[in-house]
């Protein structure tokens, strides 16, 4: 259980995190290249700037647990900003 863990800038290349509970974890700028995140619970995780090249995210960014407003752009997860009028 890594809910709320502070992993900012951590080197997690190739880590086996499939099914891990990462809700509310701070993963800003973390290196998650080739990490196994299949089925990980990422709801509320802070992932801006995380490097996700070749990471396996199967099932991790789906359903109600997926972090709202996030998109994968240029192989990095970034928050999609929308203006309310």
What's the pLDDT tens digit per position in 19-60?
999 888 999 899 999 999 998 988 888 888 889 889 998 888
Instruction: Report residue 77's pLDDT band, with 50, 70 and 90 as the boundaries.
Output: low
Nearest-CA neighbor of 19 among 39, 3, 5? 39
Q: Is the pLDDT of residue 69 over 80?
A: no
Rounded percentage of the chain residues whose pLDDT exceeds 70: 71
- Average predicted confidence (pLDDT) for the chain: 80
pTM of the model: 0.74
pLDDT at 49: 86
Nearest-CA neighbor of 17 among 36, 39, 43? 36
How many Cα atoms occupy the beta-carbon half-sphere of 5 within 13 Å?
12
């Amino acid at each position: 259980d890594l809910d709320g863990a502070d992993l900012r800038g951590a080197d997690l290349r190739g880590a086996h995190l499939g099914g891990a509970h990462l809700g509310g974890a701070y993963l800003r700028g973390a290196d998650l290249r080739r990490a196994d995140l299949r089925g990980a619970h990422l709801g509320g995780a802070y992932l801006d700037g995380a490097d996700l090249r070749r990471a396996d995210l199967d099932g991790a960014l789906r359903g109600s647990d997926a972090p709202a407003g996030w998109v994968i752009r240029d192989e990095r997860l970034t928050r999609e900003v929308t203006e309310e009028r």
